[in-house]
């Protein structure tokens, strides 16, 4: 919930941090996808990983990119990696069980990227507000769950003590 408050109070700082966090995520995700692609000889994951490394590197080297340019970069990365994840899911059909999960992740990634491109007028500030609203709601739900679990532990302790 503190993250949500900071997001609403300091959107510029939050955007800068999110740009760097996205760069680190894309870089790490790309490295891990390359490793998995090389080990399994799956060219789809290898290409997705290389794209992630490139996206992360560009983001970390030039963090002053405008929010709109970053929005388009994230959208393109999401669409292309989503397509490559779909290709990898098809390739893995005979290799692993539940490969449809990778396909579903690919579909979600493509939908996310398309939505960013279709509605760029909403801008980075709107995306930040959505992230902040989600973080606040998530925090409220986690606190509610924590109090419920605390009550559960108290009931369990009462039963054990009898």
Q: How many whole angstroms from its chain centre is CA 122?
A: 19
Per-residue pLDDT at 117: 87
Per-residue pLDDT at 126: 67
**More reliable by pLDDT, 147 or 156:** 147
**More reliable by pLDDT, 101 or 50:** 50
Instruction: Confirm whether pTM is higher than 0.75.
Output: no
Of the chain, the percentage scoring pLDDT greater than 90 comes to 28
Per-residue pLDDT at 124: 67
- In angstroms, rounded to a whole number, what is the distance separating the alpha carbons of residues 3 and 77? 25
- In angstroms, rounded to a whole number, what is the distance separating the alpha carbons of residues 32 and 9? 35
- In angstroms, rounded to a whole number, what is the distance separating the alpha carbons of residues 96 and 84? 17
Cα Rg of the chain, angstroms: 20
Per-residue pLDDT at 29: 95
Domain residue ranges of the chain, discontinuous segments joined by +: 2-161
Does 28 score more than 90 pLDDT?
yes
CB 48 within 8 A of CB 33: yes
Per-residue pLDDT at 32: 95
Per-residue pLDDT at 49: 95
Does 18 score more than 90 pLDDT?
no
**In degrees to the nearest 10, what's the CA dihedral of 25, 27, 29, 31?**
-160
User: Would you place residue 39 in the very low, low, confident or very high pLDDT band (cuts 50, 70, 90)?
Assistant: very high
CB 143 within 8 A of CB 33: no
Using one digit for the tens of pLDDT, what is the confidence trace for 76-123? 988 999 999 999 889 988 887 888 888 899 999 898 888 888 887 565
- In angstroms, rounded to a whole number, what is the distance separating the alpha carbons of residues 73 and 80? 11
**More reliable by pLDDT, 1 or 128:** 1
DSSP-assigned letter for residue 119: -
Write b or e for each residue in 79-104: b if 16 or more Cβ atoms lie within 10 A of its Cβ, otherwise e: bbbbbbbbbbbebbeeeeeebeebbe
Helix boundaries (H) for the chain: 2-9, 11-40, 43-61, 67-91, 100-118, 123-161
């Amino acid at each position: 919930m503190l993250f949500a408050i900071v997001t609403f109070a300091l959107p510029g700082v939050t955007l800068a941090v999110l740009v760097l966090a996205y760069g680190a995520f894309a870089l790490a995700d790309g490295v891990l996808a390359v490793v998995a692609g090389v080990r399994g000889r799956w060219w789809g994951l290898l290409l997705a990983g290389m794209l992630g490394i490139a996206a992360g590197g560009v983001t970390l080297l030039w963090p002053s990119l405008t929010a709109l340019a970053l929005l388009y970069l994230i959208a393109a990365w999401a669409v292309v990696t989503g397509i490559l994840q779909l290709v990898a899911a098809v390739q893995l059909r005979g290799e692993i069980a539940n490969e449809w999960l990778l396909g579903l992740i690919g579909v979600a990634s493509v939908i996310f990227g398309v939505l960013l491109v279709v509605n760029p007028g909403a801008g980075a500030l709107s995306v930040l507000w959505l992230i902040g609203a989600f973080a606040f709601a998530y925090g409220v739900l986690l606190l509610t769950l924590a109090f419920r679990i605390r009550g559960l532990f108290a009931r369990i302790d009462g039963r054990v003590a009898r």
